Structure 1
């Protein structure tokens, strides 16, 4: 898969558009009992949905980025961050949470997910597999899935794709506050088997998505485990090359910017379908204490690494109760698809390749093989703990070969 599938939907109307199908007639009822939210502390401000906010947002939104942010502390029953929380964004793969809930709804406490469905649902949740989403979107009746979930969960800003684009499940509209509601339903109201299945898979989110994009951004990079994430990306990004054997391929003509530009028939749509989107959602901390939803749009032409970095900086700026932040220093990088190696030598195996220009966390550095990229030469290597490997300091954005504020690695 490539990035345009991550919108998420077909690449072209002829190639991957999903024809509307009749909705499955499921006798769905809310079988779970609700867990009462804690009483708000004195001085808290109540929201229209019964939630409260206790502090002004400290979110630092990078220049040029449009963001919708909501951070909800389940321990206190309060929002610690809200920025454009009701603004609608195209969901990209975040909608896969709703596809899963719709499929599992009212299956009964002793329902066992068939093996054939596990082989679709698990990679859809862990690795954002698009083929699985196409299957459930079609089988569930397309936009009828969204209509059911809006009613059953009580969503305020969520709606199906615009008229004429019903096959594009990633064009479903969603907001940060509705994303919080979805996670709250999963954690506080869904039957235990549903909750455990979804959250177990989100905790096992893979670094490399099914379409070879590195999805270890946002929550997954900003905070140490425990966390559980469902990420989303959509737009005219360069092709992914995550993993030791992934290859970079040229774009298909069908993935041109012209394809991504909404036609006149969609001009009245509420959701921006043209700017590249990158979203990080999930839970952070022991007991899934905080629910975090950060939905972003970036200027047309933004690279994946730039969007990845800007989303990371925004996520790291948030007040997230219960979060533990990783140790190290964040540095920018340059170069295209730079390898992260098992050791400080180009002969060692590659763990993955970095999105071009992405910001990385460096915990220590050591001397190793001398690398030359004229006019630069450098024998220092940086250890990237979140990748479990080394990259040559020659690709780190720093005036010195040896990084001035990074300690020496004390192990081989």
Structure 2
């Protein structure tokens, strides 16, 4: 697939240049920055105050990893009326899923609420042009997304969703934990590059649990899904279905490279939406990838302010 290789001329005025080894700062003549060797990335940044927008490869499809949990939460909330009170059992799923990217919670809600139909409904409701369900319905992390569609999802949550549900999603994203429920350090990208206040939903795939360089996360995130029969049954159902043969009409997305996506908003009033979807070589360590992606996020976020 063709993935974006260069960031546009918006970055000419950057004062905080990427310093990671292998990242080449552009000369004034070229007005661009080369991505690190082996990295491919698409991104979109929207300043909601000024309307300025910048991006590269905005409609390129990627596997979602845990970014799809935004769809799972939004679909759950919007399937109920605005007066609905979330029961304690469902809060115990939604909160760790949004804050600590809990996979067991996601699998439970995914199975209970219709599997891939969650993606179908969300794409229709929000107006997403690049989003597709996973080829194997159990593989919710293989949902196809794009940077443009995730920016649109945040716009919908912030301006069109029921205020009660908007506040629920965004308040939980503002409480994003450093360590995920699986002990993966999710402080790369936006949390490492941009100041608070911020609301963050991360996604990663291909690094395994607690990879080398991730030693600060020896304990899971503060929010963790209770181990109940419902959760165990849903996780088993997802695992069984994930082993089935993929449909022939699956989206053409890279399922091999390591993904470490960073998405969210920055500012007291969510003034800026930032979505960066990178893919990294399987030979690169977690710590090197985290540094590269954090530097890239800092650069592209600054770029929109120079538009």
TM-score bracket for the superposition, by shorter chain length? 0.7 to 0.9
Instruction: Tell me the alpha carbon deviations over residues 63-114 of structure 1, each in whole angstroms, 9 at most, x when there is no partner.
Output: 21110100001112231x2110110000000000000011001422221111
Q: CA RMSD in A?
A: 2.5
Q: CA deviation at 1:305?
A: 1.0
| Structure 1: gaps (5+ residues) | 1-54, 248-262, 324-412
**What's the counterpart of residue 232 of structure 2?**
none
- 2 CA distance for matches of 1:229 and 1:148? 23
Q: In proportion to residue count, which structure has more strand?
A: 1
Q: Is 1:311–2:282 an aligned residue pair?
A: no
How many residue pairs get aligned? The number is 253
TM-score by length of 2: 0.76
Q: 1:245 to 1:213 in 2, by over 3 A?
A: closer
Tell me which structure has the larger Cα radius of gyration.
1
| Structure 2: gaps (5+ residues) | 1-7, 12-31, 221-244
Q: Is the 8 A contact 1:71 1:291 kept in 2?
A: yes
**What's the counterpart of residue 292 of structure 1?**
274
Q: Is the 8 A contact 2:182 2:209 kept in 1?
A: no
Q: In proportion to residue count, which structure has more helix?
A: 2
Q: Is the 8 A contact 2:46 2:273 kept in 1?
A: yes
Q: CA deviation at 1:321?
A: 8.3
SS of residue paired to 1:287: coil
Report which structure shows greater RCO (CA 8 Å, sep ≥6): 2
**What's the counterpart of residue 155 of structure 2?**
184
SS of residue paired to 1:205: coil
Q: CA deviation at 1:242?
A: 5.0
Q: 1:144 to 1:244 in 2, by over 3 A?
A: closer
Q: Is 1:196–2:167 an aligned residue pair?
A: yes
Q: Is the 8 A contact 2:126 2:153 kept in 1?
A: yes
Q: Is 1:104–2:86 an aligned residue pair?
A: no
- 2 CA distance for matches of 1:98 and 1:268? 19
Instruction: Tell me the alpha carbon deviations over residues 151-178 of structure 1, each in whole angstroms, 9 at most, x when there is no partner.
Output: 100001000012xx21000000000000
Q: 1:201 to 1:322 in 2, by over 3 A?
A: farther
SS of residue paired to 1:117: helix
Q: Is the 8 A contact 1:73 1:320 kept in 2?
A: no
**What's the counterpart of residue 42 of structure 1?**
none
**What's the counterpart of residue 152 of structure 1?**
125
Q: Is the 8 A contact 2:183 2:218 kept in 1?
A: no
